[in-house]
Structure 1
Amino acid sequence: MRRNRRACGLALALTVAAAGCAPGRPGDDGRVTVAVSTEILADLARNVGGDRVAVETVVPAGGDPHSYEPTPADAAKVARADAAFTNHLLLEEHALIKLFDNNVPDGAPNISLAESAEQYGATLIPLVEDVGLDVLWLGLAVRGKGPSRSADIRLSATKMTGPGEFALYLTDALGQPQVYIDSTDGLDARDVAVLPPDAHTHLNWAFSQPGEYRLTLSAQVDAGDGSPARQLGSGTFAFAVGVAPQTLLRDGRTRLLDAGHADLAVDLDTAQVFARTDEQGDIPADQVVIDVPNRAIEEVPDDERFAFVGTPGSRVWQLPQAVLGKHVHGEIDPHLWQDVRNAKAYVQVIADTLAEVDPDGRDTYQANRDRYLRELSELHDYVRAQLAKLPPDRRQLITTHDAFGYLAKAYGMTIAGFVVPNPAQEPSAAQVTKLSETVRNLQVPAVFIEPNLAARASVLRRVATDQGVDICLVYGDAFDANAKTYVAMMRHNADELLRCLGRTR
């Protein structure tokens, strides 16, 4: 069955790109127009720009930059900009980054703050993934920067052999499957996964029958500038589905992937398609055997949206997505602002950029920058002092979302657990058990949800209720009515962590 896959997203991209051709910028009031991706960046820009700037934010108040899909009206905002700022490091949905890159006027600075802030002293930390699966956690990845950050890298299924059918898909945060490859009606140009440069994503790999399969993936890069796509390499991977993988360890295939984390990847510099693994390093495609054991068997849900996988109640052998919801990311944690010192680096980038765009306002921007940096230094000291009051065994943070690694590193906390739940499905017993054991064993008095992600916190709420611990609020990617500025957000987080973790259970 062929679905209408990604058609709406492609249509939107075309509409947005067309909107970027609209002429002219506002400027009747003489202010510099600044377009930013998130409200956190908007607050930093307003503090630096003051009355000389008009800041327009694309992701709406309370929105999630990881999943927000832009509109043509958003393109119009960006097309009016004298300067534009995104966080990047794959924080924002790729369509949002492409909107900025396609619509920022020629000559206007288009700044990735997370990358630019490093030269101003920002500290970057890697993402660490470990979900403790008892089967292989398999994804797709792109290594390399490519021609631009808005380029599309396409991994197409060009050939598949085996006794059954194959589907590659993810389940988004609303329980809706997004299908990338489906062999039931043959493979064609629609059987493709598209990633941005230097990105990684988690997916479900579903096979309808046991046996030996071979899947060929071919890669190409589209720079997004109208030039022809550049063909890269291809590779054929072997899968042992419900059969002993040793039967495929022949003819040069000597490396078995049966646990841990791995990606089928393309390197933009070498054009090679290969397996990238945490434990064994890079492995050529023709040396790999991927184990899909019988303990990976799942039943197809009684939901017509999953008809492409099989009939309701039938069995499939599936390597799971593990992290629920669409989760495309890079190797570096993008949530730099949770360390106030990194926010100070953002402020310096913004000030220098505005002075470049508006030289007459340089003195104003520098004065605003210096005033705000002093305020942020005081904020950093406040957060550090508040969290230092917690006993070491109470500095365990369990949240809905992996957004607090910088806060933990900067202020002496430990990330004990996080969840990205799917509210459309019941949590698995393994998910609930693992979180329950973490809460119980660490004797934490509270877990934390983000206000803008509260609707997705079903697993964490259930665990908290079962374990009799409090549910408290912290801010990750967005503000709300109770915290309308970056300073207010960080002060709240420090106070809430101290209040909730400092109490006796």
Structure 2
Amino acid sequence: MCPVRNHVHRVRCPRGPNDPSCPPLRVKRRSALKAFGALGLLATTSCSGGARGSAAHVRRSESGRVNVVVTTPILADVARRVGGDHVSVTSLVPSGADPHSHEPSLRNIRDLAYADLAFTNGMLLEQQKLLRTVSANLPDGAGAPIPVAENIEKYGGVLRPMTEDLSLDTVWLGMRVEGSVGDQDGFVTLETTAITGPGRTAAFVTETFGRVTRVADSAAEGARRGGGTHGSCGSAKVFAEGEPTVGQLGAMELPQQAHTHLSWAFTEPGRYSMELRAVFRGETIATGVVHFAVGIDANRAALALGPDAQVLDGGHADITADVARRVIVLRADAENGPREYDPASTVVVVPAKALQELPGGSQYRFLGRPGDQMYLLAQAVLGKHVHGDIDPHFWHAVPNVKAAAQVMRDHMAKVFSEYASAFQANAHDYSERLDRLEQELRAAYGSLPKSRRGLITAHDGYGYLAEHYGLKVEGFVAPVPGTEPGLQQRQRLARAIRDLHIPAVFVDKGTTGRGNVLQQVADDAGVRVAQLYSDTLDAEAPNYEDMMRHNARTITDHLRE
């Protein structure tokens, strides 16, 4: 029988533990200390109602070690590496448990009551109820909890936004006119002269109040199959699948030095090519062909264009008629300014994750019936955001953990200045260990062929891993844990596995519902399922380095097959 329960009033919120109105779990210090004494948890306890934190400092002086409380096992491992023999580290979320769903316990309250310093992950990884409980029960002398993720950028860490809608996380492809020719007030017309591919292709603009204007359409009135095509078609025949469609397939007029955003729809997976010409006052001033890899492995498809072919798979890009130079190029935004691609040796990627259902509006009937599935490169100005909150799973890139160790080092040294030199030395040693780990991981992931680097996972928790080590997230069950996928998302995952020849999918260690969905999809597709460590540790991987090595072995072994 546990007398401590008599001193706790636990409130359960009908709207869930993350509801802002849900109060933190808090125990009055006088009652808690008496209860702990009854359990034999403390040799001596002061119940005089003095300043908060006095008991923690008494325990520190007797043990010679300071008490650091963190929210997750991964943070606990980093804190132990930095603190060494001078700290006693406690994780509120136990090993093997999910920090996304962990609710505070009475034991957590006890640990917080004696903390000298506390670290949280932050960026909405932990439940709000847990975070409020941490803040409410820390002694005054411990100060406010330190959100590690929110501080790593000061030390060279890199944060990334989470993807709200993976189907929109693609290249945004528009049209542009660069330079000037003749009368600068004149318009340049970009005409589509031929489209080749296994299905229908359309490019369109969504205007005010949802009105749709078609710019190119392989099923346009007057289109015909086969026959002669524009002179630039040679490379299109090499790359694209199927018989070309020619005729009046659509056009767009643009003022010089102007551009527009477009949506692009493809009904079937495969290789497509679109031929265009730029016309000014009846004269053809430039021609070109743009290649698309739709729902298939773009790197493999690009080999049809030659060994030096490039892949364009993200960011803002435009099919650009450079009228001064009389060429058509692909121009994409880059960190150091616009980057130019030769369309004859470039593949624009329409990934499997871009598969969507056609909406019910009458303006889309030219593409098919409501509910029909097609691959869509979305218009960049539709108003729907691709990215939302910052991804909290920063530790899947080793340099971010190096930064986290420095965050902890400096805050520990500030609070426990007598051990500052030890913390500095420990952090330095740990940084060298992480450097060696980073080299191992880069070698392991770098050994995978480019066509074998696609990840399909249970949730959007491996973005740092993919971005940092050259992998690509091709799909996940849900953006965040606990979100049930719809039928469309299941179909999208199944098509991605099939069209990209994905040999294995990955679930989180210890997952239940969200892992089972991916298990069902994998069973139907006949591919293997492997387990990764997402945000916790266990006996098989008791520390961060073991966790990262396990994930690297698991991913490379299963994707290489």
Sort the TM-score into its range (normalised by shorter chain).
0.5 to 0.7
User: Match for residue 117 of structure 1?
Assistant: 152
* 1:35-114 aligned within 5 A: 35-109=69-143, 110-114=145-149
Distance 1:116 1:50 in 2: 22
Asked if 1:418 corresponds to 2:476, the answer is: yes
Shift of 1:430: 2.5
Q: Is the 8 A contact 2:458 2:478 kept in 1?
A: yes
User: Match for residue 543 of structure 2?
Assistant: 485
User: Match for residue 337 of structure 1?
Assistant: 395
* 1:247-266 aligned within 5 A: none
Q: Is the 8 A contact 1:124 1:333 kept in 2?
A: yes
1:5 to 1, 14, 17: 14
Shift of 1:41: 0.2
Asked if 1:378 corresponds to 2:378, the answer is: no
Q: In the superposition, relative to structure 1, how do residues 435 and 426 fare at CA in structure 2: closer, same or farther (>3 Å)?
A: same
Q: In the superposition, relative to structure 1, how do residues 9 and 76 fare at CA in structure 2: closer, same or farther (>3 Å)?
A: farther
User: Match for residue 393 of structure 1?
Assistant: 451
Q: Is the 8 A contact 2:163 2:479 kept in 1?
A: no
User: Match for residue 280 of structure 1?
Assistant: 383
* 1:351-362 aligned within 5 A: 351-362=409-420
Shift of 1:368: 0.8
State the AA in 2 paired with 1:60: P
Q: Deviations over 1:335-358 (max 9, x none)?
A: 111000000000001111111121
Q: Deviations over 1:46-65 (max 9, x none)?
A: 11111111111111111111
Q: In the superposition, relative to structure 1, how do residues 427 and 108 fare at CA in structure 2: closer, same or farther (>3 Å)?
A: closer
Distance 1:92 1:4 in 2: 17
Distance 2:74 2:424 in 1: 20
Across the two proteins, how many residue pairs are aligned to each other? 317
Shift of 1:468: 1.2
Q: Deviations over 1:376-401 (max 9, x none)?
A: 01111111110000001110011112
Q: Deviations over 1:185-214 (max 9, x none)?
A: xxxxxxxxxxxxxxxxxxxxxxxxxxxxxx
User: Match for residue 494 of structure 1?
Assistant: 552
Q: Deviations over 1:161-188 (max 9, x none)?
A: xxxxxxxxxxxxxxxxxxxxxxxxxxxx
Asked if 1:458 corresponds to 2:516, the answer is: yes
User: Match for residue 408 of structure 1?
Assistant: 466
Q: In the superposition, relative to structure 1, how do residues 42 and 7 fare at CA in structure 2: closer, same or farther (>3 Å)?
A: closer
Q: In the superposition, relative to structure 1, how do residues 387 and 19 fare at CA in structure 2: closer, same or farther (>3 Å)?
A: farther
Shift of 1:19: 4.4
User: Match for residue 364 of structure 1?
Assistant: 422
Distance 2:151 2:482 in 1: 38
Q: Deviations over 1:434-491 (max 9, x none)?
A: 1110111110111011112145312110111111111112111011221110000001
State the AA in 1 paired with 2:89: V
Distance 1:407 1:396 in 2: 12
Shift of 1:79: 2.2
Shift of 1:420: 3.9
User: Match for residue 144 of structure 1?
Assistant: none
Distance 2:481 2:410 in 1: 43
State the AA in 1 paired with 2:548: M
Q: Helix, strand or coil: the match of 1:55?
A: strand
Shift of 1:99: 1.3
Distance 2:477 2:502 in 1: 16
Shift of 1:96: 1.1
Q: Is the 8 A contact 1:423 1:455 kept in 2?
A: no
State the AA in 1 paired with 2:542: K
Q: Is the 8 A contact 1:90 1:330 kept in 2?
A: no
Distance 2:482 2:22 in 1: 27
Distance 2:496 2:98 in 1: 27
State the AA in 2 paired with 1:490: M
Q: In the superposition, relative to structure 1, how do residues 359 and 423 fare at CA in structure 2: closer, same or farther (>3 Å)?
A: closer
Q: Helix, strand or coil: the match of 2:163?
A: coil
Q: Helix, strand or coil: the match of 1:34?
A: strand
Q: Deviations over 1:101-124 (max 9, x none)?
A: 212222424211011111001101
1:130 to 162, 165, 171: 165
Max radius of gyration: which structure?
A: 2
What TM-score results when the alignment is normalised by the length of structure 2?
0.52
Q: Deviations over 1:392-418 (max 9, x none)?
A: 111001111211111111100001111
Distance 2:484 2:126 in 1: 27
Q: Is the 8 A contact 2:26 2:133 kept in 1?
A: yes
Distance 2:17 2:508 in 1: 29
Q: Deviations over 1:283-332 (max 9, x none)?
A: xxxxxxxxxxxxxxxxxxxxxxxxxxxxxxxxxxxxxxxxxxxxxx9621
Q: Is the 8 A contact 1:37 1:87 kept in 2?
A: yes
Shift of 1:492: 0.8
Q: What's the % identity of the aligned pairs?
A: 42
2:407 to 349, 361, 383: 349
Q: Helix, strand or coil: the match of 2:511?
A: helix
Distance 2:557 2:477 in 1: 22
Q: In the superposition, relative to structure 1, how do residues 398 and 20 fare at CA in structure 2: closer, same or farther (>3 Å)?
A: farther
2:489 to 403, 409, 431: 431
Q: Helix, strand or coil: the match of 2:474?
A: strand
State the AA in 1 paired with 2:148: L
Q: In the superposition, relative to structure 1, how do residues 78 and 483 fare at CA in structure 2: closer, same or farther (>3 Å)?
A: same
Alignment root-mean-square deviation, CA = 3.3
Q: In the superposition, relative to structure 1, how do residues 20 and 86 fare at CA in structure 2: closer, same or farther (>3 Å)?
A: farther
Q: Larger deviation: 84-93 or 430-439?
A: 430-439
Q: Helix, strand or coil: the match of 1:33?
A: strand
Q: Is the 8 A contact 1:20 1:75 kept in 2?
A: no
Q: In the superposition, relative to structure 1, how do residues 330 and 433 fare at CA in structure 2: closer, same or farther (>3 Å)?
A: closer
Q: In the superposition, relative to structure 1, how do residues 448 and 11 fare at CA in structure 2: closer, same or farther (>3 Å)?
A: closer
Q: Larger deviation: 79-88 or 412-421?
A: 412-421
Q: Is the 8 A contact 2:17 2:129 kept in 1?
A: no
- 5+ long unaligned stretches in structure 1: 134-242, 246-259, 261-276, 283-328
